[in-house]
Structure 1
Amino acid sequence: MASQGVESVQSINHRDDNTEVEMIEIDGENHEEECATLETDDIRPQESGKRKQTSKVWEHFKKVKVDDIQYAECKYCKIHLKAPPGFGTTGLFKHYQKACKKRPRGLDIRQSLIKTSKKVNGGEELTTHIFSQEYTRSELARMVILHDYPLSIVEHVGFRRYSASLQPSFTMISRNTLKNDIFSIYNDEKVKFYKLLEKLKCRVAITTDMWTTSNNKKGFMAITAHFIDDSWRLQSCILRFVYVPAPHTADVLCDLLANALMDCNIDRKVSTITVDNCTTNDAMLRRLLDRLPTKDMLLDGKVLHMRCCAHILNLIVKDGLETISSTIERIRDSVVYWTASPARVEKFEKVARQLNVSCGKKLSLDCKTRWNSTYLMLQTAITYKDVFPRAKARDIHYRSLPIDEDWENAVEICSKLKLFYNVTEIFSGTCSKFSGLEACPTMLDEEEDEESFVET
């Protein structure tokens, strides 16, 4: 039978006559061909020829002859494929890649190294390790991201020597390569996160706030998404942290927020947007409702705008603290003076030890815009109220000593602020059962009754 190309051969013995029937597959059809019965001695490897085999496929096949017909025998499944001289190796490649079920898959031909690993029960065992330049580069970039190291760390002589002592085979990269690796990780994680958001079947709650840097007073907008995953765990991910040029108007903030939601394709999945209680945010949310599809929102967007409870408490407490602003200023000035240098800190602690006052808590300066830090500053300063007068006697330059009335006001206000501080921690905590709780605005208009609201 004439045949071209590489043909798959399987032998089936029939006992009724001393012949062998070969099932030869040609162009997808099976054909029978009779030939003489083969003995074991009839199959022999091909004698080495003068021409050298150059195709890599012969690493997985060996040439054998059956009745002077040349075959290629798969080293894994032992199937014979006809491979007469002059024919290509495409069929052999197809068999190795697709048809062969016994070929080893995913083999790593790199040299393995022996290392010691700890068992779960505390023991040790010897395992193998394969060095990878790509994996080590990825871990280096993730280390820089995690610990906020400078990109120039890869150019430090000490770091290079330390890395070479750990793995001499690792080729240290430059800061530009490290920067590219970090951007590559960011893009990969961004794609994964966007795919996760697309598969979400639940609603996504958004929180956003403006941040101002202390050194150059530039404004940044942070947008965070909160959702419940399939394992019923609260997940929070930053969607965007972007620089916002002045002025920070409602139109500018609305454009940034709307673009972020649409880029992530969650504009139809948003449940609520929680913002601080200010007029700019009120105007921003009104404009945002005109740009987003309200028909896909909860109650047609009536509950989209949520006001941050922690910010409302912050406004309440700040108004209350205005009544004792002079007291707070004198205590704050005292804390500033005694924490200005290490020498003053040591002198203050020395006086405290002379009065048998524990120095477990250090004096800490507050942030004027965060009342909870003011509460912590006052609470710590009260424990040192007897130390400040004696410290003044040791330092003539200290002139902002609080009076007795200041300490009485501080003790009284701290007893009141403790409740607000605990409530704020509950609102801000991620592990609390009340986390994410916001003040719900009135959803009923004055002319609407409860029945019409339910129908909506």
Structure 2
Amino acid sequence: MDWNIDTKLSTITLDNCSTNDAMIEKIKDKLQLSTLLRDGSLFHMRCCAHILNLIVKDGLEVVKDGIEKIRDSVAYWTATPKRKEKFEETAKQLRIPYNKSLVLDCPTRWNSTYKMLEIAISYEDVFSRLKQREAQYTCLPTTLQWQFAKDVCGKLKLFNAITELFSATKHPTANMYFPKICEIKLAIGKWIISPNDLIQKMAEKMLTKFEKYWGVIHDIMGVATVLDPRYKMELLEYYYEKLYDHESFSQVRMIRQLCYDLVSDYQLKMSKDLGGSSPTIDGSNVGNDALSEYDIYIMRKKRARSSFVKTELDHYLEEDVLPRTADFDILMWWKLNGTPPRPAPALGIFFSFQ
């Protein structure tokens, strides 16, 4: 407490666990909410990667029976070294490149299920040929089951690509999450109208979990996106038109207002840190300090002048967006271009949200 760490906290990012919720409430009880962003309403943030895992797990729970025969087939042909060898020999006889060995998934890890399906699907003809040669092999998937597995694998491919992007980035920043999360929401919306009933149910289950998370985090991700000079408000407008249709304008306006509110809160905090607490009028001290009211006047004037930060935010938003480049380093850009009174000091903490 001697270092005033309690006044320097922004957020805590945790996974989706009820015990974490209880812990956060205990921490907030020991803090002054006025020192936190928006009085603590942004203090507890959900882990994006963890929520993605929960979304996929919920979806796979619906379709697990539809891919069971593929799992059984993989289990059969990986059960012994002799069967593995026979499977590889058959693939070579059919002139099918044997680049990857079959791998059985761990049901609690959706990415392993994706990998199992992706590899097994590439050897569909091998499984069919082995059915003709191996009487004990009785779990060959039907044509419809193979097609269903391809549909599921195609859906998981999006999640897998995004998860790999997040994990492969050495220093992930919050601005990279928003467009990917929006793409997931749009994709789920398409899956819900799939002609396959199981795919529909999977998408509905995913959407329920997604909306619960989206309602908490989308405004924070929106702020981080605004601070990306390649995107600013334009990317919000682009995606929100697709996601919200007629309500897109009000949603964009809400994120814009949040940016200004955060800048205003930051500037007010800085004025207090630099100028101390506002003096109070005490009738008994007026004779001793006739200029005490002047001190109050100056403090109010300083706060009124804080609007110049808002003007700087306006200037930033009005500037053209930068071209999109894969190797863009947003932290370095703000380091070089974020000289005061740019809005970065006030909003830069949002780059760290994950």
Greater helix share, structure number: 2
- Higher RCO (C-alpha under 8 Å, 6+ residues apart): 2
TM superposition score category, shorter chain reference:
0.3 to 0.5
Greater strand share, structure number: 1
Task: Tell which structure's C-alpha radius of gyration is larger.
Answer: 1
Q: TM-score, normalised by structure 2?
A: 0.46
